[in-house]
Amino acid sequence: MRSHAERKTGLAPEAKQLPSQWRGSGRDNVIEFRQARRESQEAQTALRSVVPNVGAMIIDLERARVARQKVQAQAVYGMADFRARFQANQEQQAAIAAEGARLLAEVERQRHEQLIATERAAALERASKVSATAHDKASKTKRDGPDFGL
């Protein structure tokens, strides 16, 4: 039988046992060890059939993890940016609404002042007409003077 080195299995050679070591539990331990090594080799062979290059797969998985973290960070940044723009828009809309209400109140105040001014002017005109008619009546009722006979 050829050695593990000649067969290029990569396995370390087993230590030789004396016949006294081989009897009893020594033999069971060696058989159990060989069975476990065989199962391990079969599992590695099955893994290589599914994933031919484990190192490359680990690198790809690491890149995918980094890409997911980057997308998540962008999503968080994008959400924060969206929230900031939304808040700024809300504040701008509130400022526009407040300015509109202020302008409406100013127009209403000016209309009220104009109405008061118009009413005062009308009252003043009425008062001047009343005083003028009263003055005319007062001047017409008195008929004394040089032109009385005319």
| Block mean pLDDT (10 aa), the chain, length 150 | 78 77 78 89 86 81 92 82 90 95 95 96 88 66 58
* Cβ neighbours around 93 below 10 Å, total: 10
pTM over 0.75: no
Distance between CA atoms of residues 6 and 103, nearest Å: 98
- The structural domains of the chain, with segments of one domain joined by +, span 1-50, 69-132
Distance between CA atoms of residues 109 and 115, nearest Å: 10
**So what's the pLDDT on residue 66?**
93
Residue at token pair 């539990």: 25
